[in-house]
Amino acid sequence: MSLLVKPAPSVESLRRDPGAPHRHLDWSLLGLSVGLAVVGLAMIFSATKGSGPTPYTGMVARQMMALLLGLAVMGALAFIDYRRLREWAPLFYAGALGLLGAVLVLGQNVKGAQAWFAVGGFQLQPSEPAKLAIIVVLAAYLAAHRDTLGAGHLVAALALAAVPMALILLQPDLGTMLVFAVVALTLLAVAGVRARYLAALVLLGVIGTVVVLNSDLLAQYQRDRLLVFIERSSDRDSGLAESYNVDQSETAISLGGLTGRGWGNGPQTQEGRVPEQQTDFIFTVVGEELGFIGASVVLGMFLALALRIWRVAQLAKDDFGALLCCGVLAMLVFQVFENVGMSMRIMPVTGIPLPFLSYGGSSLLTSCAGIGIVLSVHMHRFR
């Protein structure tokens, strides 16, 4: 080891503290995150370059800026001791609710959802950072009442999650609301809520879904999407609007085959036949152009990322850290599963981005920030 032979004075002084956070930066988490984001850039380029002689690069450039910003946020959160977040939790929560409330009044309506702020040419989707806020708040609350966790705490935790979920449903954004639900459920489970409570909760969820589906709470398109998923097998070519996206997406992925059509050469992608192929349906580009091998590598990176976060959760110094990691893990894994699953017709269509890959600054920033928190838990596990 060259460091042992010729230690620099500054390094020398640092070596004295083996528990120093910077010595425990998890390079694999950082590398996987950046790697996925770079794959995302390549896919966004392919999906948006167009067929003209000069490829369009506007979206890639914006995403690259978002990535740099995201890495900065990730770094900042990594070096901040995650325990400080516990103190800021009420602030995060209040800010998130404020933004979610404001967007319903001041926001922009894009494709039927009142979910975006337009800020100087950029769009901000407050429901994305709100995911992190709810993770922090629930983790803090559940960790604080870890030993005395009862029904009252359960109700309180559910109420904490329900308020932002209700605001998001008003936009309406069913997918993001589902992320909240999954995150909350995971945190409750990990925190030690009794299995029978959880079972009751799941049952309530199912009944609630049925009621909501049969009420007017959901927009018609949302109901159609869910019904398409349910009726898919018998109704492949019914011409339903909602089955169109999935037909095209599934077809594109099938077209990829083992080795893919090649980057920038996917016929479905280049014809622009998969709607939202740079955002919600970015995985179709991966599947079609990179094939089974490429898509497996991408999914493998996600799996490695998830397992690494899971490992960090196990290594965490305290319950709060472990819960934070599980929250981020639940958020990312559910999004990956739902997003990739809907592209392949094993999940219903909901507008959820694929973390790190989908075009969209808010989503990328949120994913980076989530990894930043996990990095912080990892780095600060000794002190």
Partner 1 sequence: MSDEQPALRVALVGIVVISLFAALFARLYYLQVLRTTTVEEVFGTARYRDISYQGLRGRILDRNGAVLVDNRESIVVTVDRRQFDALDDKEGLKLRLARALNDAGFPTKVRDITARIEDPRYDPLKPVPIAEDVSPQLESYLLERLHEFPTVDVVRTEVRSYPQGKLAAHLIGYTGSINSEELEARAKDPKGYEPGDEIGKAGVERIFESELRAKPGVRTVEVDATEREVGTRSDVPAVPGADLQLTIDVQLQKAVETLLEQTLEQARLQKKRRETDPPLRAPAGAVVVLDAETSEVLALASYPTYDPSEFIGGISEYRYDELTAPGSFQPFTDRAISTPYAPGSTFKPFTAIAALAKGLITPGDVIVDNGSYELEDCTDTCVFTNAGNTRYGRVDLERSLVVSSDVYYYRIGEAFYRQRGVVGDDALQQTARSFGFGTATGIQLPGEQEGLVGDPALKAARNADNPEAYPYGEWFTGDTVIMAIGQGEMQATPLQLANAYASLVNGGALHAPSIAKALLDHDTGTVTREYGVRTLATVHLPPEIRDPILDGLTGVVADEEGTANPAFAGFPLELVPVAGKTGTAEVDGKADTALFAAVAPANDPKYVVVAVMEESGFASETAAPLVRKIMEHLPEVRPYFEQRAAAPSTTTGSTSTTGPASADDGAEAGGAAAGDAEDDGSAGSEEPTVAATTTTSPPPATTAVDPPTTTAAPDPPATEPTAAPTTAAAVNAAPADQQGATFAPALLALATAGGAAVRRRARRGGVARRPRVPQGRA
Name the site residues for partner 1 (rule: CB under 8 A).
186, 189-192, 239-244, 250-251, 253-258, 267-268, 273, 287, 291-292, 295-296, 299, 302-303, 306-307, 310, 313-314, 316, 319, 322, 326, 329-330, 333, 336-337, 340-341, 344, 346
Nearer to partner 1, 130 or 340 (CB): 340
Nearer to partner 1, 93 or 302 (CB): 302
Taking the complex as a whole, the smallest distance from the CB of residue 123 to partner 1 amounts, in Å, to 24
Taking the complex as a whole, the smallest distance from the CB of residue 64 to partner 1 amounts, in Å, to 27
Taking the complex as a whole, the smallest distance from the CB of residue 156 to partner 1 amounts, in Å, to 19
Cβ atoms of 60 and 42 closer than 8 Å: no
Nearer to partner 1, 62 or 224 (CB): 224
Nearer to partner 1, 153 or 171 (CB): 153
What radius of gyration, in Å, describes the C-alpha atoms of the chain?
A: 22
Nearer to partner 1, 222 or 243 (CB): 243
Nearer to partner 1, 170 or 304 (CB): 304
Taking the complex as a whole, the smallest distance from the CB of residue 159 to partner 1 amounts, in Å, to 22
